[in-house]
Structure 1
Amino acid sequence: MTTQNTATADSSWTIFIEILSDEFTSKTGFGVYAHITPTDVNQAYQQYQLRNAPMRLFVREYVRHYV
């Protein structure tokens, strides 16, 4: 059971980074790490997990803060 939960968490993390990078790229022409540090990405993911919002909506609002 723990392995499945870890796999789900890893999958969610991977999808989050892909969506975040896509959003930065579409808005600025550069990926996520051109704008924020890996620590910032981790903090953004933690913020996302605490909110009850769809991932894409959270990411869109987050990127809007930087652009």
Structure 2
Amino acid sequence: METSFNEVKQLGYARTLFIETLSQQFIAMTGCGVYVYLNPVDLNGLFNQFLSDSMSVDTFARQCVKNVLE
């Protein structure tokens, strides 16, 4: 199956929104951004997990921060 340019663009936008939301949540709870706690490989794994989950990005981000800080 061929992936269209628009699909790649939408996935890139979703990934950017996910990382920004996660970083904002980390800053709100710890004063530091996401990259203090997670490396890019971990972020990619979380993004893939988010795509297969039915939670909103905000809910998923809050849960991720709680899990990392525990």
TM-score of the two chains, using structure 2 as the length reference: 0.90
Q: CA RMSD in A?
A: 1.1
More helix by share: 1
Structure of greater Rg:
2
- Counting matched residue pairs gives 67
1:49 aligns with 2:61: no
Gap runs ≥5 in structure 1 = none
- Aligned to 2:32, the other structure's residue is in SS state coil
Q: Which structure 2 residues correspond to residues 21-60 of structure 1 after superposition, within 5 A? A: 21-60=23-62
For normalisation by structure 1, the TM-score amounts to: 0.94
Secondary structure of 2:24 counterpart: helix
